[in-house]
């Protein structure tokens, strides 16, 4: 590209704040993003999102940029199917809208 996305663009308005929760399958030995980054440096992890280009997908890519290199994206057709597969153990991580996941986290399923 002939331009720098961060340097050459000026934000005009803030469109939205989207509170995301990084949820993990209960058997994954990670309690937060730092643990996920450390784990993703030693082995491959897969994460689900509500689809390509969604806030959850972009958040996971930011995590990859912070050092979690061994992340594999598994896009779903919505957050519901991704959450079901996280609880079933088909994926290990999920960035999703916080209100949708909190009940499952409190129940110990994530």
In Å, how far are 17, 23, 40, 102 from 37, measured between CA atoms? 24, 14, 5, 22
Residue 17 is predicted with a pLDDT of: 83
pLDDT of 11 reads 83
Low-confidence ranges of the chain (pLDDT < 50): none
Task: State the Cα–Cα distance between residues 92 and 40, nearest whole angstrom.
Answer: 11
Exposed/middle/buried for residue 86 (C-beta within 10 Å: 0-12, 13-18, 19+): buried
Q: Are 22 and 110 in contact (CB under 8 A)?
A: no
Residue 56 forms beta bridges with which residues? Answer: none
Instruction: Give the long-range contacts of residues 26-35, CB within 8 A, separation 24 or more.
Output: 26/108, 26/109, 26/110, 27/89, 28/92, 28/93, 33/63, 33/66
pLDDT at residue 70, as a whole number: 82
């Amino acid at each position: 590209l002939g331009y720098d996305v961060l340097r050459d663009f000026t934000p005009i308005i803030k469109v939205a704040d989207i509170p995301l929760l990084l949820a993990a399958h209960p058997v994954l030995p990670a309690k937060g993003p730092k643990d996920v980054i450390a784990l993703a440096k030693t082995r491959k992890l897969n994460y689900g999102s509500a689809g390509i280009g969604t806030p959850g997908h972009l958040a996971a890519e930011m995590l990859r940029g912070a050092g979690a290199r061994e992340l594999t994206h598994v896009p779903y057709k919505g957050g519901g199917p991704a959450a079901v597969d996280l609880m079933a153990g088909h994926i290990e991580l999920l960035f999703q809208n916080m209100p949708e996941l909190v009940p499952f986290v409190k129940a110990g399923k994530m």
